[in-house]
Structure 1
Amino acid sequence: MVKPYKIPLSVLVVIYTPALDVLLIRRADATDFWQSVTGSKDRASEDFRQTAAREVREETGIDCASGTTLASGLRDWGLENVYDIYPRWQHRYAPGVTRNTEHVFGLVVPPGTPVTLNPREHTASQWLPWREAADRCFSPSNAEAILMLPKLIGVKFAA
Protein backbone atom coordinates (compact mmCIF):
# COMPACT_ATOMS: atom_id res chain seq x y z
CA MET A 1 0.00 0.00 0.00
CA VAL A 2 1.33 3.44 -0.93
CA LYS A 3 1.35 5.83 2.01
CA PRO A 4 -0.31 9.18 1.16
CA TYR A 5 1.71 12.36 1.32
CA LYS A 6 1.58 14.37 4.52
CA ILE A 7 -0.58 17.48 4.53
CA PRO A 8 1.64 20.53 5.22
CA LEU A 9 -0.70 21.71 7.98
CA SER A 10 0.28 20.58 11.45
CA VAL A 11 -0.02 21.20 15.17
CA LEU A 12 2.47 21.77 17.95
CA VAL A 13 1.08 20.98 21.41
CA VAL A 14 3.04 22.12 24.46
CA ILE A 15 1.97 19.87 27.36
CA TYR A 16 2.65 21.37 30.78
CA THR A 17 1.68 21.24 34.46
CA PRO A 18 0.42 24.18 36.55
CA ALA A 19 3.99 24.46 37.91
CA LEU A 20 5.17 24.94 34.28
CA ASP A 21 6.98 21.65 33.94
CA VAL A 22 6.89 20.80 30.23
CA LEU A 23 6.73 17.35 28.68
CA LEU A 24 9.36 16.63 26.03
CA ILE A 25 9.51 13.46 23.96
CA ARG A 26 12.49 12.11 22.02
CA ARG A 27 11.96 11.20 18.37
CA ALA A 28 12.57 7.59 17.37
CA ASP A 29 13.90 8.63 13.95
CA ALA A 30 16.27 11.31 15.31
CA THR A 31 17.37 10.41 18.82
CA ASP A 32 19.03 13.74 19.50
CA PHE A 33 15.74 15.59 18.78
CA TRP A 34 13.56 16.38 21.79
CA GLN A 35 10.23 18.06 21.16
CA SER A 36 6.67 18.67 22.21
CA VAL A 37 3.85 16.79 20.50
CA THR A 38 3.65 17.53 16.77
CA GLY A 39 1.74 16.10 13.88
CA SER A 40 -0.03 16.79 10.62
CA LYS A 41 -3.69 16.75 9.79
CA ASP A 42 -4.88 13.34 8.60
CA ARG A 43 -7.28 14.99 6.16
CA ALA A 44 -7.82 18.59 5.06
CA SER A 45 -11.25 18.75 6.75
CA GLU A 46 -9.87 17.76 10.18
CA ASP A 47 -9.89 20.88 12.33
CA PHE A 48 -6.74 21.82 14.22
CA ARG A 49 -8.27 21.07 17.64
CA GLN A 50 -9.12 17.52 16.51
CA THR A 51 -5.61 17.13 15.11
CA ALA A 52 -4.10 18.33 18.39
CA ALA A 53 -6.18 15.93 20.52
CA ARG A 54 -5.49 13.01 18.17
CA GLU A 55 -1.74 13.62 18.09
CA VAL A 56 -1.55 14.00 21.89
CA ARG A 57 -3.36 10.67 22.34
CA GLU A 58 -1.31 8.88 19.65
CA GLU A 59 2.07 10.13 20.89
CA THR A 60 1.60 10.24 24.69
CA GLY A 61 -1.52 8.25 25.55
CA ILE A 62 -3.01 11.40 27.16
CA ASP A 63 -6.65 11.78 26.14
CA CYS A 64 -7.80 15.39 25.81
CA ALA A 65 -10.49 14.84 23.18
CA SER A 66 -13.82 16.61 23.44
CA GLY A 67 -15.84 15.17 26.34
CA THR A 68 -12.82 14.03 28.42
CA THR A 69 -11.73 15.53 31.73
CA LEU A 70 -8.65 17.09 30.10
CA ALA A 71 -10.51 18.60 27.12
CA SER A 72 -10.86 22.01 28.81
CA GLY A 73 -7.08 22.10 29.31
CA LEU A 74 -6.42 22.07 25.55
CA ARG A 75 -6.10 25.71 24.50
CA ASP A 76 -5.58 27.18 21.07
CA TRP A 77 -2.84 29.76 21.56
CA GLY A 78 -3.76 31.57 18.33
CA LEU A 79 -0.22 31.25 16.99
CA GLU A 80 1.01 29.87 13.69
CA ASN A 81 4.52 29.16 12.51
CA VAL A 82 5.43 28.76 8.86
CA TYR A 83 8.75 27.08 8.26
CA ASP A 84 10.80 25.18 5.71
CA ILE A 85 10.37 21.43 5.98
CA TYR A 86 13.59 19.79 7.14
CA PRO A 87 15.31 18.06 4.19
CA ARG A 88 15.41 14.73 6.08
CA TRP A 89 11.58 14.66 6.09
CA GLN A 90 10.91 16.29 2.70
CA HIS A 91 10.11 12.91 1.07
CA ARG A 92 6.97 12.64 3.21
CA TYR A 93 5.37 15.55 1.34
CA ALA A 94 4.17 15.89 -2.22
CA PRO A 95 6.72 17.05 -4.78
CA GLY A 96 7.11 20.81 -4.67
CA VAL A 97 5.85 21.17 -1.09
CA THR A 98 8.65 22.81 0.90
CA ARG A 99 6.88 24.72 3.70
CA ASN A 100 4.63 23.70 6.57
CA THR A 101 2.16 25.74 8.60
CA GLU A 102 2.07 24.76 12.27
CA HIS A 103 -0.79 25.75 14.58
CA VAL A 104 0.18 26.03 18.28
CA PHE A 105 -1.78 24.69 21.28
CA GLY A 106 -1.10 24.30 24.97
CA LEU A 107 -2.41 21.49 27.18
CA VAL A 108 -2.31 21.81 30.95
CA VAL A 109 -2.35 18.48 32.81
CA PRO A 110 -2.13 17.55 36.48
CA PRO A 111 1.31 16.69 37.89
CA GLY A 112 1.98 12.97 37.60
CA THR A 113 -0.11 12.52 34.46
CA PRO A 114 1.07 9.20 33.02
CA VAL A 115 2.72 9.19 29.60
CA THR A 116 2.58 6.15 27.33
CA LEU A 117 4.75 6.65 24.25
CA ASN A 118 4.16 5.16 20.83
CA PRO A 119 7.56 3.44 20.37
CA ARG A 120 7.41 3.81 16.58
CA GLU A 121 7.45 7.59 17.06
CA HIS A 122 9.20 8.33 20.38
CA THR A 123 11.66 6.52 22.62
CA ALA A 124 11.74 8.57 25.84
CA SER A 125 9.94 11.31 27.70
CA GLN A 126 10.87 13.79 30.38
CA TRP A 127 9.25 16.60 32.34
CA LEU A 128 11.46 19.68 32.61
CA PRO A 129 11.01 23.20 33.99
CA TRP A 130 9.88 25.39 31.10
CA ARG A 131 13.18 27.20 30.52
CA GLU A 132 15.15 23.94 30.50
CA ALA A 133 12.59 22.39 28.17
CA ALA A 134 12.98 25.27 25.73
CA ASP A 135 16.75 24.86 25.78
CA ARG A 136 16.43 21.13 25.06
CA CYS A 137 14.15 21.45 21.99
CA PHE A 138 15.71 20.95 18.57
CA SER A 139 13.03 23.05 16.87
CA PRO A 140 13.27 26.84 17.16
CA SER A 141 9.48 27.24 16.87
CA ASN A 142 8.96 24.68 19.66
CA ALA A 143 11.48 26.43 21.91
CA GLU A 144 9.85 29.80 21.22
CA ALA A 145 6.38 28.48 22.10
CA ILE A 146 7.68 27.10 25.40
CA LEU A 147 9.41 30.39 26.23
CA MET A 148 6.08 32.17 25.65
CA LEU A 149 4.25 29.80 28.02
CA PRO A 150 4.19 32.01 31.14
CA LYS A 151 2.93 35.00 29.16
CA LEU A 152 0.34 32.97 27.27
CA ILE A 153 -1.18 31.59 30.46
CA GLY A 154 -0.77 34.80 32.50
CA VAL A 155 1.97 33.76 34.93
CA LYS A 156 4.61 36.32 35.88
CA PHE A 157 8.20 35.20 36.45
CA ALA A 158 11.34 37.19 37.07
CA ALA A 159 13.70 37.13 34.10
Structure 2
Amino acid sequence: MNRPPKIPQSVLVVIHTPDLHVLLIERADAPGFWQSVTGAKDFAEETWGQTAAREVAEETGLDAHAPGHRLRDWGLENVYEIYPQWRHRYAPGVTHNTERLFGLCVPAPLPVRLNPREHTAQGWWPWAQAAERCFSPSNAEAILWLPRLGGMMV
Protein backbone atom coordinates (compact mmCIF):
# COMPACT_ATOMS: atom_id res chain seq x y z
CA MET A 1 0.00 0.00 0.00
CA ASN A 2 1.42 3.36 -1.05
CA ARG A 3 1.27 6.17 1.47
CA PRO A 4 0.62 9.73 0.32
CA PRO A 5 3.67 11.99 0.56
CA LYS A 6 4.25 13.71 3.88
CA ILE A 7 3.28 17.35 4.09
CA PRO A 8 6.43 19.44 4.64
CA GLN A 9 4.86 21.25 7.59
CA SER A 10 5.50 19.87 11.05
CA VAL A 11 5.42 20.74 14.73
CA LEU A 12 8.01 20.48 17.47
CA VAL A 13 6.43 20.30 20.93
CA VAL A 14 8.71 20.83 23.93
CA ILE A 15 6.97 19.14 26.87
CA HIS A 16 8.17 20.62 30.14
CA THR A 17 7.30 21.26 33.77
CA PRO A 18 7.06 24.68 35.46
CA ASP A 19 10.56 24.12 36.90
CA LEU A 20 11.85 23.40 33.35
CA HIS A 21 12.35 19.66 33.33
CA VAL A 22 11.98 18.53 29.72
CA LEU A 23 10.69 15.25 28.32
CA LEU A 24 12.82 13.67 25.59
CA ILE A 25 12.07 10.49 23.66
CA GLU A 26 14.53 8.30 21.75
CA ARG A 27 13.71 7.40 18.14
CA ALA A 28 13.34 3.71 17.34
CA ASP A 29 14.79 4.16 13.83
CA ALA A 30 17.81 6.13 15.04
CA PRO A 31 19.23 4.92 18.38
CA GLY A 32 20.84 7.78 20.28
CA PHE A 33 18.58 10.34 18.55
CA TRP A 34 16.81 12.03 21.46
CA GLN A 35 14.14 14.57 20.67
CA SER A 36 10.98 16.33 21.71
CA VAL A 37 7.64 15.39 20.16
CA THR A 38 7.63 16.05 16.42
CA GLY A 39 5.34 15.26 13.55
CA ALA A 40 3.87 16.45 10.29
CA LYS A 41 0.38 17.63 9.50
CA ASP A 42 -1.90 14.77 8.43
CA PHE A 43 -3.74 16.99 5.95
CA ALA A 44 -3.26 20.55 4.68
CA GLU A 45 -6.25 21.97 6.57
CA GLU A 46 -5.11 20.60 9.94
CA THR A 47 -4.15 23.57 12.13
CA TRP A 48 -0.79 23.80 13.84
CA GLY A 49 -2.51 23.41 17.22
CA GLN A 50 -4.43 20.32 16.10
CA THR A 51 -1.22 18.79 14.79
CA ALA A 52 0.62 19.53 18.04
CA ALA A 53 -2.11 18.01 20.25
CA ARG A 54 -2.44 14.93 17.98
CA GLU A 55 1.30 14.29 17.90
CA VAL A 56 1.59 14.64 21.69
CA ALA A 57 -1.19 12.04 22.10
CA GLU A 58 0.26 9.68 19.47
CA GLU A 59 3.85 9.81 20.71
CA THR A 60 3.37 10.04 24.50
CA GLY A 61 -0.24 9.19 25.32
CA LEU A 62 -0.58 12.59 27.02
CA ASP A 63 -3.62 14.81 26.48
CA ALA A 64 -2.39 18.31 25.64
CA HIS A 65 -5.73 19.75 26.76
CA ALA A 66 -6.07 17.87 30.06
CA PRO A 67 -6.66 19.95 33.21
CA GLY A 68 -3.38 21.45 34.37
CA HIS A 69 -1.78 21.17 30.91
CA ARG A 70 -1.09 24.29 28.85
CA LEU A 71 -0.32 23.95 25.15
CA ARG A 72 1.15 27.18 23.78
CA ASP A 73 2.04 28.13 20.22
CA TRP A 74 5.32 30.00 20.55
CA GLY A 75 4.77 31.79 17.23
CA LEU A 76 8.21 30.66 16.04
CA GLU A 77 9.07 28.61 12.97
CA ASN A 78 12.17 26.92 11.64
CA VAL A 79 12.71 26.13 7.98
CA TYR A 80 15.27 23.42 7.52
CA GLU A 81 16.57 21.02 4.92
CA ILE A 82 15.07 17.55 5.24
CA TYR A 83 17.75 14.93 5.95
CA PRO A 84 18.42 13.00 2.70
CA GLN A 85 17.59 9.64 4.34
CA TRP A 86 14.01 10.88 5.02
CA ARG A 87 13.28 12.71 1.73
CA HIS A 88 11.65 9.63 0.20
CA ARG A 89 8.68 10.28 2.52
CA TYR A 90 7.91 13.56 0.71
CA ALA A 91 6.79 14.45 -2.81
CA PRO A 92 9.58 14.52 -5.41
CA GLY A 93 11.57 17.73 -5.25
CA VAL A 94 10.60 18.61 -1.67
CA THR A 95 13.80 19.37 0.22
CA HIS A 96 12.71 21.71 3.04
CA ASN A 97 10.25 21.56 5.92
CA THR A 98 8.60 24.30 7.97
CA GLU A 99 8.48 23.41 11.67
CA ARG A 100 6.21 25.33 14.10
CA LEU A 101 7.31 25.45 17.76
CA PHE A 102 5.02 24.71 20.70
CA GLY A 103 5.46 24.24 24.40
CA LEU A 104 3.32 21.99 26.56
CA CYS A 105 3.63 22.74 30.26
CA VAL A 106 2.54 19.87 32.52
CA PRO A 107 2.42 20.09 36.33
CA ALA A 108 5.19 17.52 36.97
CA PRO A 109 7.17 14.83 35.13
CA LEU A 110 4.54 12.36 33.97
CA PRO A 111 4.78 8.76 32.83
CA VAL A 112 4.30 8.44 29.09
CA ARG A 113 3.12 5.67 26.80
CA LEU A 114 5.50 5.32 23.86
CA ASN A 115 4.62 3.79 20.50
CA PRO A 116 7.42 1.17 20.23
CA ARG A 117 7.49 1.51 16.42
CA GLU A 118 8.48 5.17 16.86
CA HIS A 119 10.32 5.51 20.19
CA THR A 120 12.15 3.18 22.54
CA ALA A 121 12.97 5.24 25.63
CA GLN A 122 11.97 8.39 27.47
CA GLY A 123 13.33 10.57 30.22
CA TRP A 124 12.93 13.92 31.95
CA TRP A 125 15.99 16.17 32.26
CA PRO A 126 16.66 19.72 33.45
CA TRP A 127 16.38 22.02 30.42
CA ALA A 128 20.11 22.59 29.84
CA GLN A 129 20.88 18.85 30.01
CA ALA A 130 17.94 18.10 27.71
CA ALA A 131 19.24 20.61 25.14
CA GLU A 132 22.69 18.97 25.21
CA ARG A 133 21.14 15.53 24.69
CA CYS A 134 19.17 16.49 21.55
CA PHE A 135 20.48 15.33 18.20
CA SER A 136 18.65 18.08 16.29
CA PRO A 137 20.12 21.60 16.57
CA SER A 138 16.65 23.17 16.10
CA ASN A 139 15.25 21.03 18.93
CA ALA A 140 18.12 21.99 21.24
CA GLU A 141 17.59 25.66 20.37
CA ALA A 142 13.87 25.39 21.16
CA ILE A 143 14.65 23.94 24.58
CA LEU A 144 17.14 26.75 25.20
CA TRP A 145 14.25 29.20 24.65
CA LEU A 146 12.40 27.91 27.73
CA PRO A 147 13.99 30.21 30.35
CA ARG A 148 13.50 33.23 28.06
CA LEU A 149 9.82 32.61 27.34
CA GLY A 150 8.76 33.50 30.88
CA GLY A 151 4.99 33.90 31.19
CA MET A 152 4.22 32.05 27.95
CA MET A 153 5.07 28.75 29.62
CA VAL A 154 2.60 28.60 32.49
TM-score, length basis structure 1: 0.92
1:120 matched to which residue of 2? 117
Q: What is the 5 A alignment of 1:78-89?
A: 78-89=75-86
Partner AA of 2:48 in structure 1: F
Q: Which residue in the other structure is 1:134 paired with?
A: 131
The letter of the residue matching 2:127 is: W
Contact 2:13 2:103 in 1 (8 A): yes
Give distance in 1, aligned partners of 2:111 and 2:130. Answer: 18
Mean Cα deviation higher: 104-113 or 89-98: 104-113
Question: Which structure 2 residue ranges, 5 or more long, are not aligned?
Answer: none
| TM-fit CA distance, 1:70 | 4.7
Shift of 1:112: 3.5
Give unmatched runs, 5+ long, in structure 1. Answer: none
For residues 38-77 of structure 1, the aligned pairs below 5 Å read: 38-65=38-65, 68-70=66-68, 73-77=70-74
| Bigger mean CA offset, 145-154 vs 7-16 | 145-154
* TM-score, with length taken from structure 2: 0.95
Within-5 A mapping of 1:84-103 = 84-103=81-100
Deviation at 1:76, TM superposition (A): 0.4
Cα RMSD between the aligned structures? 1.3
Q: Is the 8 A contact 1:16 1:22 kept in 2?
A: yes
Which of 137, 142, 147 pairs up with 2:144?
A: 147
Identity, % of aligned pairs?
70
Contact 2:68–2:107 (CA under 8 A) maintained in structure 1:
no
The question of whether the paired residues in 2 share the 8 Å contact of 1:64 and 1:70 is answered with: no
Contact 1:63 1:70 in 2 (8 A): no
